[in-house]
Structure 1
Amino acid sequence: MADFTLGYRKSLDGLRGIAVVLVVLSHIPSLPFGGGFFGVDLFFVLSGFLITSLLFEEWRANGDISLKAFYARRALRLLPALVEVLGVAAIVSGRWESAEAAARMRESALMTLCYCANWFVAYRSYPRGELSHTWSLSVEEQFYVVWPLLLLVLLRSGWSRRRMAAVLVAGMLGSALLRAVLWLTTKSWERVYFGSDTHADGLFAGALVALLVHAGAQPSTEAWRRILNWVAHLMMGYLGFFFVSGWAADPYLMLGGYLGLNLGAAAVVLCLVTSPWAPLRLLCEAPPLVWLGKISYGVYLWHSVVFWTLGVTGLRIGGPAWALPLGALLAVSAASYYGFERPLLKLKQRFERVRASAP
């Protein structure tokens, strides 16, 4: 495999920042941004790419992959902030809500902590909507359980990059096909949208980009780089339109549209790590977006809980309806990151064999 090294890329943090902005603004009722749910898919593509890149680099450096170290790193990155948010939600519910509502909140927190929340949401049995956004964490964690183990088996078995790419393409197309079939047969958008099996194509697409760049299959001519850049820039332009007009249960999305969007997002990631043109690079390296990207995990975790807490406790200030929720969210997320998450992240170094943009 070619010696591609990811390292730290500001532009990927900036893309994370864009993703979390899409999600958060779509959850403020007073703002007309219904298509922001695709920010979750951007996170999926990024996660698939970053995790797979780290695994390939570890294999190249050590001739093996330590699954124990991998899962220790994931736990240190994901669990502290998640436990913090779930604890606050349980405390607020216990203080300001009825005993029955507080019990449902604790039940929801347990489902989230077990990383199976998406299946309860898919079958309309998740008790509390204030934590339902954690469905995406469950999908990612289930991917983290399966994919590193499968990749390690393929690498130890001496599979060629072409055969591994075929596995990823099959997973991506299989997920999209199952989504379409279930949509046509059940019309249950919750089952189709929140199921791990029907929402994994973005993760596979990101992993495929990592495989391509680590195998040296990057755009090698100016013509191919130009095509890739046009696709990436058009995708970012379309996101602006989609942001105000999209709807998660649109039939065209269920019947292939999500796959197209995920492939477009994968093209953006590939462009950013190979040969980005100035407009895309400057956008994704803008300091505010890079900063948001660094704290994006906390922003995503906290946003629904902060918005709900402001409502249930009756806190109000003057000004636009969105001013207090967004201001409080940024303050809480930044405090959590700098005061709690980042100090604990230093422990990850004990389990790191390679370093890259933190997934």
Structure 2
Amino acid sequence: MTQSDKHPPLAVARLPRNAAIDLLRGLSILLVVVHHIALRIPLRDGGLETLLPRSLLNAFVYNGYEAVFLFFVISGFLITSNALDRWGSLATIDVRAFYVRRSTRILPCLVLLMLVLSALHLFGVPFLTIKGEGQSLSRALLAVFTLHLNWYEGMTGYLPGNWDVLWSLSIEEVFYLGFPLLCLLLRKQSALLLLLALLALSLPITRAALAGNEIWQEKAYLPGMAAIATGVIAALLAHQMREPGMRTRRALCVLGVVGIACNLLFGSLLWKLLGNGLMLVLTLSAGILLVALHRETSNAPRGTHWLASMGRLSYEIYLTHMFIVFGVVAIYSKVDADPWFGFLWYAPVVVLCWLLGAALAHGWSIPCDRALRARWLRRSKVPVATL
């Protein structure tokens, strides 16, 4: 047997995408983008408020934080599902391949973003210069690459918007640094499920325990990891279950959608009843919905392909959308636009965010991802798939 027979060349087939989950990711990134516009171009007292109930407007523009927790659940679900497809079991996960895949997906865009943001900081560009007390460019870079930017903000205050969005990346990547090692250590899926369930259900407790520091409460590791754990559990259950019948899937879809919708639409009312438990309702509902969508094979419904596309580009859009938001807000302020027509600025921002994300994905992150995986996973037998 030759050396090449022992280590076959890397396959280049792509694992199929799930359009329904792309739509859920698209909704999440849309809520994040709109939220960051609304903080700077409010819809209150604008034209839309004369046509739509305030509760509906609030659900659309002020749920960016909740949308990040939807991302966490989806991330845990997709990462685990792809790991199960590749290795059959989390107990046989290839740690090196897992880390390589995370690195090639995350690092090209992140490194490029850090180079751009560092240059803009050094040139003193408004909205992009780090000026907070106890904050510096070198310290922010260290926090980004050592995955504790969320803690850094909790201790020193908010960073400029383009830096601030990276808090969620610190939580995700710390989780995924330990995740494959935990899978190998526990071996038994029942033990892993028990540990993940304890983490998932701890979300209200850990958030309540951090109430003394508003920034840290929002961005602490454990609540975010609890949401990711919910996604992992959902993926394990979805792969373990027999294919559910149409009625069961519809019931799960309805339950998941209702839970998410109630959280987004009536969050302020339900908070009085559930408190921090409201975030647990959101993550569990998202997990239930993902179980229902796991074997969905249909294409995105007509008229929603743009949203599914945003879902596919969610990482690139998330990292770069604040460039567009700050640019458009600067123009909005310069021309002294009438706030009554503020809602007209939202659609162009979303389109521009999509265009920038698409340019970054197709011009940089996807080519880098493929090239690095082809080099570093040369001996792998499994398909190259972009998460």
Q: 2:233 aligns with which of 208, 226, 229?
A: 208
2:203 and 2:302 mapped to 1: Cα distance?
29
Q: 2:282 aligns with which of 258, 261, 268?
A: 261
Deviation at 1:356, TM superposition (A): 8.3
Distance 1:81 1:163, change over 3 A: same
For structure 2, list consecutive stretches of 5 or more residues without a partner in the other structure: 1-14, 44-60
SS of equivalent to 2:136: helix
Aligned partner of 1:302 in structure 2 is 320
* Identity of matched residues, %: 26
Distance 1:162 1:66, change over 3 A: closer
SS of equivalent to 2:96: helix
Aligned partner of 1:340 in structure 2 is 364
Aligned partner of 1:293 in structure 2 is 311
The letter of the residue matching 1:18 is L
Deviation at 1:94, TM superposition (A): 2.2
For structure 1, list consecutive stretches of 5 or more residues without a partner in the other structure: 1-5
Aligned partner of 2:41 in structure 1 is 30
Deviation at 1:133, TM superposition (A): 1.1
Q: 1:194 aligns with which of 200, 219, 224?
A: 219
The letter of the residue matching 1:143 is F
2:366 and 2:83 mapped to 1: Cα distance?
22
Distance 1:43 1:354, change over 3 A: farther
The letter of the residue matching 2:223 is T
1:9 and 1:357 mapped to 2: Cα distance?
13
SS of equivalent to 1:115: coil
Aligned partner of 2:205 in structure 1 is 177
The correspondence of residues 20-169 of structure 1 with structure 2, limited to 5 A, is: 20-28=29-37, 29-32=40-43, 33-60=61-88, 64-97=92-125, 101=131, 104-125=136-157, 127-155=159-187, 159=188, 161-169=189-197
1:284 and 1:314 mapped to 2: Cα distance?
33
> What is the TM-score normalised by the length of structure 2?
0.76
Deviations 1:170-229 (A, max 9, x none): 11123432222333xx3x2322221102322210100001111222x2574565434312
Aligned partner of 1:238 in structure 2 is 262
Deviations 1:78-128 (A, max 9, x none): 111112222222222322449974983454233223221011122334544
The answer on whether the counterparts of 2:370 and 2:384 sit within 8 Å (CA) in structure 1 is: no
1:308 and 1:180 mapped to 2: Cα distance?
33
Which protein is bigger by CA-based radius of gyration? 2
2:258 and 2:268 mapped to 1: Cα distance?
17
Deviations 1:286-333 (A, max 9, x none): 311121112111110001233335667999678844466444433322
93-102 vs 250-259, which moves further: 93-102
The answer on whether the counterparts of 1:90 and 1:105 sit within 8 Å (CA) in structure 2 is: yes
The answer on whether the counterparts of 2:72 and 2:228 sit within 8 Å (CA) in structure 1 is: yes
The answer on whether the counterparts of 1:89 and 1:105 sit within 8 Å (CA) in structure 2 is: no
The answer on whether the counterparts of 1:12 and 1:357 sit within 8 Å (CA) in structure 2 is: no
2:114 and 2:226 mapped to 1: Cα distance?
28
Deviations 1:38-70 (A, max 9, x none): 111111011111111222233328983221111
1:284 and 1:35 mapped to 2: Cα distance?
26
Deviation at 1:26, TM superposition (A): 0.3
The answer on whether the counterparts of 2:162 and 2:319 sit within 8 Å (CA) in structure 1 is: no
Q: Report the aligned-residue RMSD.
A: 3.4
Alignment: residue pair count: 339
1:14 and 1:135 mapped to 2: Cα distance?
24
Deviations 1:5-35 (A, max 9, x none): x842122222211110010100012244112
227-236 vs 93-102, which moves further: 93-102
> What is the TM-score normalised by the length of structure 1?
0.81
1:285 and 1:174 mapped to 2: Cα distance?
39
Deviations 1:133-163 (A, max 9, x none): 11000000001011111012222xxx1x333
Q: 1:11 aligns with which of 2, 20, 32?
A: 20
Distance 1:61 1:133, change over 3 A: closer
Distance 1:63 1:323, change over 3 A: closer
Deviation at 1:169, TM superposition (A): 0.5
Distance 1:120 1:221, change over 3 A: same
The letter of the residue matching 2:259 is M
The letter of the residue matching 2:282 is L
The answer on whether the counterparts of 1:17 and 1:289 sit within 8 Å (CA) in structure 2 is: yes
Distance 1:332 1:275, change over 3 A: closer
265-274 vs 16-25, which moves further: 265-274
